Amino acid sequence: MMRFLGVAIMVAICLAFAGGLALTVWQIAGTPAPVNLPHLLAENLDASGVDHPITAVLLNFRSYDTLLEIGVLVIAGIAGISMAKTTSLEDPDLRTSDSLLYALQRWFVPLMLVLAGYLLWAGSDRPGGAFQAGAVLAASGVMMRLGGIPMDFLRPGMLLRFGLALGFSVFLLVAVASALAGSAFLAYPEAFAKPLILIIEVVLTFSIAMVLLALFVSAPVNRTEEPEEGEAG
Partner 1 sequence: MTLGLMAGLLFTPLAWAVLTLLVDFRKGRVVTWLGMAVQMLVSLGLWAVVASDGGFLYLLGGWQAPLGIELRVDGLAVTFVLLTAVVAAACGWHASIYLDPDKAWHRYFWPLFWFLWAGLNAVWLGGDLFNLYVGLELISLAAVGLVALGGQADALRAAIRYLMAALLGSLAYLLGVALIYGQFGTLSLAGVTALLNSAEVPAGLSFALVLMLLGLALKTALFPMHGWLPPAHGIAKSPVSALLSALVVKASFYIAARLWLDLGGHLGSYALAQLIGALGGIAVIWGSWLAFRQVKLKQVVAYSSVAQIGYLFLLFPLTWGVSDAISLQAQQGITLQVISHALAKAAMFLSAGNLIMSVGSNRVDALAGVSRFLPFSLFSFGLAGVSLMGLPPTGGFAAKWLLLQASLASGQWWWLGVLLAGGLLSAAYVFRVYQASFIDDTDIDHFFHPSRSLEVIPMILALLSLGLGLMAEPVLSVMSLPFEAGRGQ
**Contact residues for partner 1, defined by CB under 8 A:** 20-21, 23-29, 31, 33-37, 40-41, 44, 60-65, 67-69, 71-72, 74-76, 78-79, 81-83, 158, 161-162, 164-165, 168-169, 172, 175-176, 179-180, 182-188, 221-222, 225-231
3-class DSSP state for residue 221? strand
Q: How far is the CB of 68 from partner 1 (least distance, A)?
A: 5
Q: How far is the CB of 150 from partner 1 (least distance, A)?
A: 23
Residue closer to partner 1 by CB (options 81, 112) is: 81
Residue closer to partner 1 by CB (options 53, 148) is: 53
Q: How far is the CB of 233 from partner 1 (least distance, A)?
A: 10
Residue closer to partner 1 by CB (options 15, 68) is: 68
Q: 130-146 and 193-217 helices cross at what angle (nearest 10)?
A: 30
Residue closer to partner 1 by CB (options 19, 127) is: 19
Q: How far is the CB of 131 from partner 1 (least distance, A)?
A: 15
CA distance 193 to 72: 24
Which own/partner pairs from 191-198 qualify as long-range (CB within 8 Å, at least 24 positions apart)?
193/47, 193/48, 193/49, 193/50, 193/60, 194/49, 194/50, 194/124, 196/49, 197/49, 197/50, 197/55, 197/59, 197/60, 197/124, 198/124
Q: How far is the CB of 124 from partner 1 (least distance, A)?
A: 18
**Alpha-carbon distance values, 129 to 142, 185, 197 (Å):** 20, 23, 11
